Amino acid sequence: MELIKAQRGTQDILPGNSERWQAVEEVMRDEAAVNGISEIRTPVFEDTRLFQRSVGETTDVVQKEMYTFEDKGGRSVTLKPEGTAGAVRSYLEHGLYNSPAPQKFYYLTPCYRYEKAQAGRLREFHQFGVELFGTSLPLADAGLIAFANGLFDRLCVKNLKLKINSIGCPTCRAEYTKALKTYFTERKDRLCETCRSRLDRNPMRILDCKEPGCAEAAKGAPRILDYLCGDCKAHFEGVKSALDSIQIEYEVDPSIVRGLDYYTRTVFEFVSADLGAQSTVCGGGRYDGLVEEMGGKPTPALGFALGIERLLMIMEAQQIEFPEPHPCELYIASVGEAARKRAFQMACGLRECSVAAACDEVGRSLNAQMKYADKLGAQFTLVLGDDELEKGLGVVKNMKTGEKTKVNLNNDIEGQFAAISTRAEDEEDLSF
Ligand code: HAM
């Protein structure tokens, strides 16, 4: 029978790799907690209109990439292509604005975009995202960027470039849009069909079109930074000086406009040379108008999302060491039926005390059990046979150092093992 395979652009995260995911997710959760950011979990599918209104009708994401379908009740639903829209919906639906500002949320979520699958570009991918509501100060932008930067530092990721830009507010963007329209109208024949249709409705979207003709035509386009109004200029200066004050290096790159419609003012991306074509690992910015557009009170907001697959690709390319997981702390090998039973009892007792203990479950020879313990990466082993059971004495062996410690099998084995393993832990040096 033909084996059914995973869908194009999706991937299984298998044992051996899943521990790496857990390790980075743990750092993200931990850093979020230190920064007073609480987790928000929103559904994987939402009313299609949510993304049309927030991400924007003229974006690539909405025009080409959404997983949209009718459910059995005839409603149009869409698998979330990103996390911001759902967070904003939830913020409004549950009146989260009633708690003191700024409200800070993070999420770890799968996202879905029907894109041409390639290295670093998947149809199901995962984001760690942060959204902050209720603060308009430039310090908040710098603080958010510093948070992402700190996360990369904590994960030992090197050689990232931080690019920042300001894309202004609706006031300054009106002038800019006019200039862009004139510019691209003169080059209309070089634009793809989608971009020609964007010319009237949203010419800024042409700037992030992936078609080579459009990218070429965009090269000499007017720059938004030259059109910023006084307030937006002052805000951008404030962000830059706050970043300077905490020694975060950045490059002002006027070509960063981001691919989603909700942004205002500050936008930023962290890019890596270790990623190939899909070089952006993290992107975000301010979206001061979105909450109001979605039906709430005017509320300044900002956030970013980091692609976990891309992060792990960089970490792999940079050969960053991950903390060694110890799936097995103590393997209790046994010889003979009575010893196997005793090993089983002991392993169950130890697991109740949160010790990752394992014993023979398939009837292997002692030799095969020891090989298996090695495969499990057991930190310690203990061999039980008739002799050990009779005397009530066993020997716990540290598999790394070879150190042996006698244990009394009839008395508080958990306590004795705890003392042995704590001693070994003190000597270990963990990564990250
Ligand atoms: P985005 O730039 O579309 O922004 O995505 C953020 C990150 O998700 C990217 O930098 C990348 O690492 C990852 N990513 C995006 N698409 C794919 C893909 N097809 N395959 C693999 N990874 C991908 C947003 O989604 C905004 N919601 C970020 C944000 C939050 N802005 C404000 N708050």
Q: Which residues line ligand 1 (CB under 6 A)?
A: 82-84, 113, 115, 120-122, 125, 127, 129, 131, 259-260, 280-285, 303-305, 307, 309-310
Q: State which of 310, 311, 312, 314 you would mutate to test the pocket of ligand 1, scoring each by most atoms of that ligand within 8 A of its C-beta.
A: 310
Mean model confidence pLDDT for the chain? 95
The residue among 305, 280, 284, 268 whose CA lies nearest residue 165 is 268
The alpha carbon of 182 is separated from its chain's Cα centroid by a whole number of angstroms, namely 39
Atom 21, ligand 1: which residue's CA is nearest?
Answer: 121
Nearest-CA neighbor of 291 among 429, 102, 106, 427?
Answer: 102
pLDDT tens column, 19-47: 999 999 999 999 999 999 999 999 999 99
Q: Would you list which residues are annotated within the binding site for L-histidine?
A: 82-84, 113, 127, 131, 258, 262-263
Task: Compute, in angstroms, the gap from residue 126 CA to the centroid of ligand 1.
Answer: 9
**How far does residue 255's CA lie from ligand 1's centre (Å)?**
17
- Would you say residue 428 has pLDDT above 70? no
Pairing of the two strands 301-307 and 124-133: antiparallel
Residue 205 Cα distances to 192, 269, 280, 281, 349, angstroms: 12, 17, 18, 20, 62
Of 82, 108, 162, 302, the residue with max ligand 1 atoms within 8 A of its CB, to mutate for a pocket test, comes to 82
Contact status, residue 198 vs residue 240, Cβ threshold 8 Å: no
pLDDT of res. 327: 81
Amino acid at 356: A
Domains and CATH numbers, the chain: 18-169+229-317 (3.30.930.10), 330-421 (3.40.50.800)
Strands 264-272 and 251-252: unpaired
Give the mean pLDDT of 79-90: 98
Task: Indicate the pLDDT class of residue 278, thresholds 50, 70 and 90.
Answer: confident
**Beta carbons of 51 and 59 less than 8 angstroms apart:** no
